Amino acid sequence: MAVAVIRTVILYIIIVFAVRVTGKRQIGQLSPTELVITLMLSELAVLPMEDMQKPLLAGVIPIFVLVIVEFFVSAVVLKSIRLRRILNGRPMPIIENGRINQQNMKKIKLSLDELAEELRILGSYDIETVSEAVMETNGQMSIVLKEDYEPLCKDNMKAKKEERKVPAVVISDGEIQKEGLLKAGIDKEQLKSILQKNGCSSAKEVFYMTSKAKNSYFIVKKEKKQ
């Protein structure tokens, strides 16, 4: 039992490490090679975990080999377009100039219901509004709406544009974020007075605080325990 617990912890650490170094994309975003590696990694980890007769190294060595192979394949795929096409396939146009490409749908075995579902997920409830739809190599669909249905943006309104910045997170769950303070351009004393102005005596009372621009702060106080 103790051996099983120790082995499980060791394999957990190794698998987390392996998944971390091979990339952190979600299942739906994995390329075919990454999906194969993920499936094989999980299978390999389970064997020495449940069968104590199997040496731990019988699972660990193949895991490391897979990680190395994945590194090698991704490095080669990055360099060679041809190999990338062979291993990952090509993006497949499903709707072209507003017309559904039925041949390509048959090729990737995509039903009309599935196409409608994908379009709904992307915010388009009517196939008629879509000009282009492409099934990407990672299995996700991307679309371009017809000009008439595109949402208004500043560019096509010729409106004045301002530079937009990602807000700096100054406090997260009661903890002051040093990087956020630096980004917001304030020190701890200034932060203290800002918090006091907003009815908080310390950072511990703040659940979330961001700074978008100078003197523009967004503060969410912690809910009091009942």
Please tell me the distance from the alpha carbon of residue 5 to that of residue 13, in angstroms, as a whole number: 12
Q: What angle do CA 152, 116, 100 make, to 5 degrees?
A: 85
Nearest one of 96, 91, 100 to 136, comparing CA atoms: 91
Using the rule CB under 8 A, is 46 a contact of another protein?
Answer: no
Q: Applying CB under 8 A, which part among 53-61, 159-167, 175-183, 188-196 lies near another protein?
A: 53-61
CB of 79 to another protein, least distance (A): 38
From the list 13, 57, 78, 108, which residue makes contact with another protein (rule: CB under 8 A)?
Answer: 57
Among 3, 152, 153, 157, binds another protein (CB under 8 A): 3
Using the minimum distance from each CB to another protein, give the nearer residue, 163 or 223: 223
Count of beta carbons in the 10 Å neighbourhood of residue 204: 12
* Strand-pair category, 130-135 with 92-96: antiparallel
Give the nearest distance from C-beta 126 to another protein in angstroms: 44
- The answer to the question of residue 93 lying near another protein (CB under 8 A) is no
- Report if residue 68 touches another protein, rule: CB under 8 A: no
Is 1 an interacting residue with respect to another protein (CB under 8 A)? yes
How far is Cα 180 from Cα 199, in angstroms, rounded to an integer? 21
Of 182, 173, 226, 165, which Cα lies nearest the Cα of 203?
A: 173
Angle between helices 32-50 and 2-22 (to 10 degrees): 170
Residue type, 67: V
Q: Which of 35, 36, 40, 56 binds another protein (CB under 8 A)?
A: 56
Residue (1 or 153) nearer to another protein, CB:
1
Residue 128's closest CA among 141, 119, 140, 117?
Answer: 119
On whether the CB atoms of residues 165 and 133 are closer than 8 A, the answer is: no
Of residues 3 and 166, the one with the C-beta less far from another protein: 3
Q: Map residue 71 onto helix, strand or coil.
A: helix
100 is an interface residue for another protein by CB under 8 A: no
Binding mask 190-219 for another protein (x = CB under 8 A): ------------------------------
- Minimum CB separation of residue 27 from another protein in Å reads 25
| Residue 6 makes contact with another protein by CB under 8 A | yes
Nearer to another protein, 56 or 92 (CB): 56
> Among 13, 21, 52, 83, which residue interacts with another protein (rule: CB under 8 A)?
52
In angstroms, rounded to a whole number, what is the distance separating the alpha carbons of residues 196 and 86?
61
Helices (H) and strands (E) in the chain — how many of each? 9, 8
Binding-site ranges for another protein (CB under 8 A): 1-3, 5-7, 10, 52, 55-57
